[in-house]
Structure 1
Amino acid sequence: MGHSRFRRSIVHVNATLARVVGDEEGMSTAEYAIGTIAAAAFGAILYTVVTGDNIVSALTGIIGKALNTSVG
């Protein structure tokens, strides 16, 4: 999944959550269910991105550079 497609997905999930959560007056059970599913989907996407090999490798590299930097 490309970065722009991922960003569009996040924007769509955030917009859906804002619509569902923004106006609590008169929300039906179906709207709560949609909001819950959207939040779970966002969490799954975020978990997949954070635990992906590229992110883990990048963070390991950054931490390694920080630990090996000499101040002098």
Structure 2
Amino acid sequence: MRSMWQRMAARLRADTGAATAEYAIVIMAAVGFAGLLVVILRSGEVQAILTDLVQRALNSAG
């Protein structure tokens, strides 16, 4: 019969659920990056740069 310490050590070595935790960390990082991107894209300077870029692209095409 295994001792309590052996059972506890076996549980600590098991990596059940590790992939799920990794996915959760990646998703949290992606959400944080998306939030930062939204804040940056809402700034007036960035909107002006993007608008100018699109207008120049449309004017050069037609």
Higher radius of gyration, 1 or 2 = 2
TM-score scaled by length of structure 2: 0.47
TM-score after normalising by structure 1:
0.42
